A and B are shown apart, each in its own frame.
Chain A
């Protein structure tokens, strides 16, 4: 007789639910848990979403024009208005990016740490990869909310005479926002699983800051062609390794009529980054929770 059997027959064995149904229910519950935690700290969430875009817009579009600090190349209200146009797209992109990293990477660093809080969710009756995907989904939802909060501010706050010139392309906007939210949350999963919890503070200095300053927030990518060494636009080429550049350029295409990177580059690259970050992120998640 085969000593090992993997079919349940004895009467005291618990009746199993089908794997798919159990996974679906658990996945929904994991999302609900993350949204409950978000609801509990909604005030902090809104504040942290607002502080950076508010400061950017306040300094660049309100203070600078008033103190006569020239920005935007063209000079005067026209130049400032065109800078405002550049900045609105950058600010929305940056806010989603930050949200993705903050909503996924930071909590994971805690949950993987000494307390291993993630364990109870890893022991929920669904595949471990689905727990990781649940984290990304919850992060993406937070990014979406952040985008909705930030956009009006970026479009509205500015000094007298400075007007961002916005022309919304809804098709691009409505496809780009979800794609960006998923991509940045997946990036958060990748960072949160690959950086040791105790080093998570370093992430801001070495990863988030370079991404921000070299991500086309304050300038359009197309304008970087002017930065050359020996006829080669080196900076324009270099920033292509920055995921944020595709997001800011995408929002530039969605919100303005200004020059931007080609859409046939932006979309495939964003989809590719989603897949890449999800893949390495899920693998990293496995390594963290299983041994």
Chain B
């Protein structure tokens, strides 16, 4: 067991060994589903550092869930390599399971057990003594405000509570990295905010977290770094701020109008001062502006002179949506 003996040696200073900072590392990680010959994840390279909240942002079908599946041993990679918590996922899946906590997208709580028992037996699965598991379950119920429902059947609690219980269960054995797949999908706004608070608190305590999401607000507000995914590829990795800056514009004008939008887009790019990019995205035009002000009146007058009737006009700072459109030419929202 090299894994256990090595931990007994004095640990090296992390700063002297930049590689030691990595909690997750994928090299050319690939998943080809033989049924339908679907290449879900294609030669993915990715690194997640200790203590960060790392987000995989992309539309449904981008390969986010498959990626998390491979890192959590539930999906067997077709090729490539993944190291989680210092352990090779393919070579030692049982050992990897000791160091990961997983919150899946669906409510996969054990319906034959109560709220409290879901935590208690999870503790026993991970080798806790009965008394330890009991104490850990009690403590987490308090932290996640579930104590009052301790004896309830898991079918009887709300969606928000069920998700909190899933997170509590995943944390019970103190994993090196917590995986959350679309943690707030299907939650009401209040429960979503509550879950974000929980994740921020865990982050403050130093918990490494990898989450997937297709909500750009979620990615923007809680992730330290983001990988933007589409069709099984990572298109860009950076901080949310860095990604937005990479657009190269400080405001985005969105224009709805009747007529030939491609022609109008070209016209605006030519005539507006500071326009860095102008493109049609579905039924609207997005005009990227850098270092110019008073753009809206100019847009209106240029469009009207050319005979276009503008039906809606807005200006905003670049968002992750803009970044996604820039990278893929399509909107993130389905």
Task: Give chain A's interface residues, CB within 8 Å of chain B.
Answer: 1, 3-19, 21-23, 25-26, 28-30, 32-33, 36-37, 40, 107, 110, 114-117, 119-128, 289-291
Contact = CB atoms under 8 A, between A and B. Distances in A.
Interface string B243-268: 00000000000000000000000000
Nearest to A126: B94
B49 to A, nearest CB: 10
B104 A125 contact: no
B7 A37 contact: no
Given A8-B7, A119-B104, A120-B110, A30 B74 contact: no
Interface in B22-53: 23, 25, 27, 33, 50
A3 B25 contact: yes
B226 interface: no
B111 A117 contact: yes
B111 A115 contact: yes
Contacts of A124: 97, 125-126
Contact of B75 (A37, A120, A126, A290): A290
Nearest to A41: B112
Contacts of A119: 74, 102, 104, 108
Interface band, chain B: 35 or more
B117 A36 contact: yes
20 contacts: A4-B25, A4-B27, A6-B3, A7-B3, A7-B86, A8-B87, A10-B14, A10-B86, A13-B7, A13-B176, A26-B127, A30-B125, A37-B112, A119-B108, A120-B108, A120-B122, A122-B74, A125-B97, A127-B93, A291-B75
B81 A36 contact: no
B107 A115 contact: yes
Interface in B6-24: 6-7, 9, 11-12, 14, 17, 19-21, 23
A9 B3 CA distance: 9
Interface in B90-133: 91-95, 97-100, 102, 104, 106-113, 117-118, 121-122, 124-127
A21 B7 contact: no
B108 A125 contact: no
B73 A19 contact: no
Given A6-B83, A7-B6, A125 B125 contact: yes
Contacts of B72: 123
A255 B2 CA distance: 54
Contacts of A126: 94, 97
Nearest to A38: B112
B293 interface: no
B224 interface: no
Contacts of A13: 7, 85-86, 99, 176
Interface of B: 1-4, 6-7, 9, 11-12, 14, 17, 19-21, 23, 25, 27, 33, 50, 69, 72-76, 81, 83, 85-88, 91-95, 97-100, 102, 104, 106-113, 117-118, 121-122, 124-127, 169, 174-176
Contacts of B83: 4-6
A142 to B, nearest CB: 14
Contact of A19 (B1, B81, B124): B1
Contacts of A123: 72-74, 97, 100, 102
Given A4-B83, A115-B107, A125 B11 contact: no
A16 B95 contact: yes
A127 B94 CA distance: 6
Nearest to B117: A36
Contacts of A128: 93
B104 A116 contact: yes
A9 B6 contact: yes
A39 B81 CA distance: 44
A9 B11 contact: yes
A117 B111 CA distance: 7
A122 B72 CA distance: 11
A114 B73 CA distance: 19
B4 A5 contact: no
B304 to A, nearest CB: 55
Given A8-B87, A22-B98, A25-B126, 15 more contacts: A7-B3, A10-B50, A12-B50, A14-B176, A17-B98, A22-B126, A23-B94, A25-B124, A26-B127, A29-B124, A123-B73, A124-B97, A125-B97, A125-B127, A126-B97
Contacts of B117: 36
Given A10-B50, A16-B98, A32 B124 contact: yes
A32 B127 CA distance: 13
A73 B313 CA distance: 94
Contacts of B4: 15-18
B85 A8 contact: yes
A33 B121 CA distance: 7
Given A25-B127, A124-B97, A290-B75, A5 B104 contact: no
